[in-house]
Structure formats: structure tokens, C-alpha cells
């Protein structure tokens, strides 16, 4: 792709061009912006390069020689990359008339490329730093077989239809407003109802599993964050301000508050494990360029809990959390997931022995559950390794959801203690964990998984009542009252519109049920029922319909 761009626009400077999970991209410094139609021109040039079947030739050069070469080529971004590469040598690859800085390896020649597609154009700051030049990034994908590419492009189109940002606006769930600020969600009535349904379910499940509710302030003095280590390791992601000469931070995490509740009185080994749970809203100073609907925001709420336990209890507690995660995913309609262990990062706190013990506990729990997992080297939290459980949606896409972190370090930093059976003080172990993760991200995943057509128990509007005429309005209000008395979430469409439009609008709203009321229904004290999944269900008695819908809600049918 870079070679094709250089053929078409020779003065373009090359940035970086890595492979990524779903294909590849390349960053370009080009005077004029790329237009969407330019992608077709670049693809045509790429096909010509493939036809010419250039061999990929690897060359190793001393850094000084590489600098001379790229200076001659005028590739200033490559010169900066060469300076950053450790060692005395770098590797280059050449195919045809293009020489590029690259680690490799490559296929043998361009002729081996069978099926590719350029997908989109985006802006990207050099090295992701806002003060650096803005480059133009072209994304593409490639497959061994044309049918694989076709399937992938179909998947992309289906994903566009399910985009939670589009559906969220269409269904009036949420919005963003520049007057409020980027990455800060405004929940509309239906979105607030959906969130409330999720919160009520997850709160009830925590109480059933032995968790206690706690609640902490949204701001805390910086001293707390200095002790926890967040100030040193996470400060650039925190909102910090001063009041009356004292420095405060809006909380990016809930853990220090839970720690202080634990520390508020003397604890015995008999008290452990102690499980504190909070639907805690946190704020993180994410760069505006990475914000993405509900999936990446600056203010979000976590179903956050911290478990304080004995060393010998750690594995059992991790297993209980895993079971909690799996049960919850199944209830919400996610039947598949992957598991990853993230190990110690370069910037971290704590000693080697504790990190090894923490990682061993996570691995031990997964082995006892016979769960396969991959290792993500160096991507743990700064205070401990973690298990990440990624749910898979209806399109097979992964969404980061649950996390279980094993922490020996923060109990040490905060001098947490319990009294052992010998009357001496000992340190508890701390597990940080979320089940759903960010409620915002989970809602985004739910909306896309079900393409907006949520199961009855989750639907903000479970039934739309549609009176055929003004004469049916009184009966419709009576039915509405009965439904509300029976905890059925219902709306009444009183608009002066044709029946077909009201039905069509209820379908667009993705309401699971419609109840249509006319003169016949009034005389028979009955309901004409339409189901989103089954279509016209005919006439039903009021009590019959209520029992049917309550059973479906109770059983959480998907």
C-alpha cells in the first residue's frame, strides 16, 4: 500500500505501517488529504504491484548507513524511528522500487497476495501525541482466499448495522453533547431505564453471593492517590484540582475508598473474606481521539468489588468470581468468552515473590476450572497481575468485560492488617474485580449483540399499547394502568396517526410486544397482540397476556 501511495503521490512521507488484528494500516504525511475515491486508485495500483510479483528482499544495515539512505530519500519520520531502535543495525526490506524500514518477516513476493481491501481513512497524530503532526492513516485488510475477504466485509457491514452509537440515537438511549464535554454520557429515559435494569440485577446478585454494599465519595485528597501509587503511575489519566490550598483528584478507581472502609476498625481472621461492592462512578482523562461512543468514555460506572482474604482463601475466591462472571454472561445472552492472564508491567510496585504468588493463584484457579487461557506479557495493573475475561458477541467479536486482579502490594502500602489466631497482625490479600466491567461498555456490547432488539426482561419498553381510534383511548389507559400495576414497562401511543405508522414506529423502537385496541377488543375486554419474534398472536385475555409476559420476564428468555 505504501508503495502504491508513493507511485501516485511521490512527495508523500511515510510514517509507520504495522499489521493489526484485523488487517493493517499505514500512516502518511501528504499535503492534500486523501479522498474516499483515492482508495480505489490506490487499490488499482496495488493490484499492478501484485501482478509484477516483486520479491521481498531483506537487508541489514548499520544505523549510520540507514540514516544516510533515508536522509537521501527525504523520509524524516523513518530517521526518527531509526534513532529509537536499540542496537547498531536495522533491517530494511525492498520490493521493486520501494525500500522501507521494517523488522519483517515477509512473504516471498507481492504475487502471493490474493485478496485485500482498503477500508477507511482516519487522522492519527505521530506517535499518538497531540502536539505532533497529524498524519493520514489508511486501514486495510487481507486474506488468503477471496471468499474469506467476502465473509469479513459482510461482517463489517453487519457490524455497521449494529453500531451502538447509531442504535443508541435511533432508540433514544443516550447522547453526547459538546456543551457537557467529550466522553460524558447523557442518558435519556429509555437508556436510564436499561441501565437501571442492569444495575438492579447485578446489585441483587452481589448481595446473594455474600457481598456488602459500600459507597465512597467522587473526590479524594491527592494524599490517598500518592499512597496507592496511582499518583505516580496513573497521574496523566486523572483529573486533579485544588480547593483551599489542598490538592484533590476525581477518583479514577474505587479501591482506595474500599481500603479505608476495611481499615476503619480492627479485623480478625474469622472475619475474612470480606467482600465490598460498589456501583462506583469513576472519571479518567482519556484523550479525545480514543473516545468511542459508550465503549471508551471519560466518566463511567463499574460494578466494582474488592475482596480482602487470607492467602489460603485466594484461589477459592478467584474461582467464585469466575463462576459469577460465567453465570452473569449467560443470563445476558453471551455464551462464549476467552480468558487472558496479564503479567507484571515494567512500571509496577511490590516485590518479585508477591508477584509470583499472585500469578500462581490466578493460574491455579483457571486450571482448577479447566479454562484455557493465553498470556499477555507485561499488561497487568501496576499493583498486580490480572485475569481478563472477554465476552464474544453474536458476530464473534470480543469485548473486554470482567477483570480479576490479585494484589499483594496495596495492602502493604496502606498497612492493612487482620489479627491471626495467634494474636499477631498479618497482611490480607486483596482481589480487585468487576463482573460486567464498565456499565457503559457493557451496554454498548449488549446493544450490538442484540442489534438493539433486547430480550423482554431488558427492554426499557416491554409493550406498546396502540389504540386504533379516539374511542379506544379510555380502554387503552385502563390497560396501561393494569400493566403498570403488574410491573410491565409500557408506553401508550396517543398520537393522531394512522395505525400502520404507529405499528411501524413500534417496530423501529424494537418493542417486544404491541397491544392493538379497537372496538372489538373493547367489547370483548380483550387484547390483539403482536410479538416482535412471532408476529401476530391474535386475541388474548388481559390476564392471559399478563401471565405470559411475566413468565417470559421471570425466566429471562432471550
Q: What is the pLDDT of residues 326-348, one digit of tens each?
A: 999 999 999 899 999 999 988 88
- Successive 10-residue mean pLDDT values, the chain, 558 residues: 96 93 93 94 96 94 92 93 91 93 91 94 87 93 94 91 94 94 95 97 97 96 92 89 94 94 97 97 88 92 96 94 96 93 87 88 93 88 89 89 90 95 96 95 95 96 94 94 96 93 93 94 94 92 95 90
What is the model's pLDDT at position 118? 96
Dihedral, 364, 369, 372, 377 alpha carbons, nearest 10: -30
E strand spans, 66-153? 89-95, 98-101, 115-125, 134-143
Q: Are 258 and 308 in contact (CB under 8 A)?
A: no
The model carries a pTM of 0.84
**What Cα–Cα distance (Å) separates residue 263 from each residue in 277, 354, 504?**
16, 21, 57
| Domains delineated in the chain | 2-162 (3.30.980.10), 169-217+251-449 (3.30.930.10), 463-554 (3.40.50.800)
Q: Are 385 and 355 in contact (CB under 8 A)?
A: yes
What is the model's pLDDT at position 233? 82
Distance of alpha carbon 2 from alpha carbon 167, whole angstroms: 36
Q: Are 333 and 449 in contact (CB under 8 A)?
A: yes
Distance of alpha carbon 92 from alpha carbon 106, whole angstroms: 11
Task: Please report the DSSP string for 423-483 in residue order.
Answer: S-EEPPEEEEEEEEEEHHHHHHHHHHHTTT---TTT-S--EEEEESSGGGHHHHHHHHHHH
Q: What is the pLDDT of residues 256-278, one digit of tens each?
A: 999 999 999 999 999 999 999 99
C-alpha 354 chain-centroid distance: 30
Q: Report, as residue numbers or ranges, the catalytic residues.
A: 255, 284, 302, 304, 306, 386, 432
Distance of alpha carbon 487 from alpha carbon 476, whole angstroms: 17
Distance of alpha carbon 30 from alpha carbon 32, whole angstroms: 6
End-to-end CA, the chain: 44
Distance of alpha carbon 133 from alpha carbon 17, whole angstroms: 16
* Helix-helix angle 314-331:352-368, to 10 degrees: 50
**What Cα–Cα distance (Å) separates residue 281 from each residue in 25, 72, 217?**
35, 54, 10
What is the model's pLDDT at position 334? 93
Distance of alpha carbon 293 from alpha carbon 302, whole angstroms: 17
Amino acid at each position: 500500500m505504501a508503495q502504491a501511495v508513493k507511485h501516485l503521490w511521490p512527495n508523500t512521507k511515510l510514517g509507520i505501517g504495522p499489521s493489526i488484528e484485523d488487517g493493517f494500516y499505514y500512516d502518511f504525511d501528504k499535503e492534500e488529504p486523501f479522498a474516499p475515491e483515492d482508495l480505489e486508485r490506490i487499490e488499482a495500483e496495488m493490484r499492478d504491484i501484485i501482478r509484477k510479483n516483486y520479491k521481498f528482499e531483506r537487508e541489514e544495515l548499520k544505523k549510520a548507513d540507514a540514516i544516510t539512505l533515508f536522509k537521501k530519500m527525504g523520509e524524516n519520520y523513518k530517521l526518527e524511528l531509526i534513532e529509537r531502535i536499540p542496537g547498531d543495525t536495522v533491517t530494511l526490506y525492498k520490493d521493486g522500487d520501494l525500500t522501507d524500514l521494517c523488522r519483517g518477516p515477509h512473504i516471498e513476493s507481492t504475487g502471493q497476495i490474493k485478496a485485500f481491501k482498503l477500508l477507511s481513512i482516519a487522522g492519527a497524530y505521530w506517535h499518538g501525541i497531540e502536539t505532533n503532526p497529524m498524519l493520514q492513516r489508511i486501514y486495510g485488510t487481507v486474506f488468503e482466499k477471496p471468499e474469506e475477504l467476502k465473509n469479513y466485509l459482510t461482517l463489517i457491514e453487519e457490524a455497521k448495522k449494529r453500531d451502538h452509537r447509531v442504535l443508541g440515537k435511533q432508540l433514544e438511549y443516550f447522547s453526547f453533547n459538546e456543551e457537557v464535554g467529550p466522553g460524558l454520557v447523557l442518558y435519556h429515559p429509555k437508556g436510564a431505564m436499561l441501565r437501571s435494569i442492569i444495575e438492579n440485577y447485578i446489585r441483587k446478585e452481589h448481595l446473594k453471593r455474600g457481598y456488602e454494599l459500600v459507597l465512597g465519595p467522587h473526590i479524594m485528597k491527592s494524599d490517598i492517590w500518592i499512597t496507592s501509587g496511582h499518583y505516580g503511575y496513573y497521574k496523566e489519566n486523572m483529573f486533579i484540582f485544588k480547593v483551599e490550598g489542598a490538592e484533590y483528584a476525581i477518583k479514577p478507581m474505587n479501591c482506595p475508598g474500599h481500603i479505608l472502609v476495611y481499615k476503619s476498625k480492627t479485623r480478625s481472621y474469622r472475619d475474612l473474606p470480606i467482600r465490598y461492592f460498589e456501583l462506583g462512578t469513576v472519571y479518567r482523562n482519556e484523550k479525545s481521539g480514543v473516545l468511542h461512543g459508550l465503549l471508551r468514555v471519560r466518566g463511567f460506572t463499574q460494578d466494582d468489588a474488592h475482596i480482602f482474604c487470607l492467602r489460603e482463601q485466594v484461589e477459592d475466591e478467584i474461582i467464585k468470581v469466575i463462576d459469577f462472571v460465567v453465570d452473569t454472561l449467560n443470563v445476558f445472552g453471551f455464551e462464549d468468552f476467552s480468558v487472558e492472564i496479564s503479567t507484571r508491567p515494567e512500571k509496577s510496585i511490590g516485590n518479585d515473590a508477591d508477584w509470583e504468588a499472585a500469578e500462581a493463584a490466578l493460574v491455579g484457579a483457571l486450571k482448577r476450572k479447566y479454562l484455557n487461557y493465553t498470556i499477555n506479557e507485561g499488561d497487568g495493573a501496576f499493583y498486580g497481575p490480572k485475569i481478563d475475561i472477554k465476552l464474544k458477541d453474536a458476530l464473534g467479536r470480543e469485548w473486554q468485560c470482567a477483570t480479576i486482579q490479585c494484589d499483594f502490594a496495596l495492602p502493604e502500602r496502606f498497612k492493612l492488617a487482620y489479627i491471626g489466631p495467634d494474636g499477631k497482625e498479618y497482611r490480607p490479600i486483596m482481589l480487585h474485580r468487576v463482573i460486567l466491567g464498565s456499565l457503559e461498555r457493557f451496554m454498548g456490547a449488549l446493544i450490538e449483540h442484540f442489534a438493539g432488539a433486547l430480550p423482554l426482561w431488558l427492554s426499557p419498553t416491554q409493550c406498546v399499547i396502540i389504540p386504533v381510534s379516539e374511542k379506544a383511548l379510555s380502554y387503552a389507559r385502563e390497560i396501561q394502568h393494569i400493566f403498570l400495576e403488574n410491573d410491565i414497562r409500557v408506553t401508550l401511543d396517543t398520537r393522531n396517526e394512522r395505525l400502520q405508522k404507529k405499528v411501524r414506529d413500534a417496530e423501529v423502537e424494537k418493542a417486544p410486544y404491541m397491544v392493538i385496541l379497537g372496538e372489538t377488543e373493547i367489547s370483548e375486554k380483550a387484547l390483539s397482540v403482536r410479538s416482535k419474534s412471532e408476529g401476530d398472536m391474535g386475541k388474548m385475555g388481559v390476564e392471559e397476556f399478563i401471565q405470559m409476559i411475566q413468565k417470559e420476564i421471570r425466566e429471562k428468555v432471550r
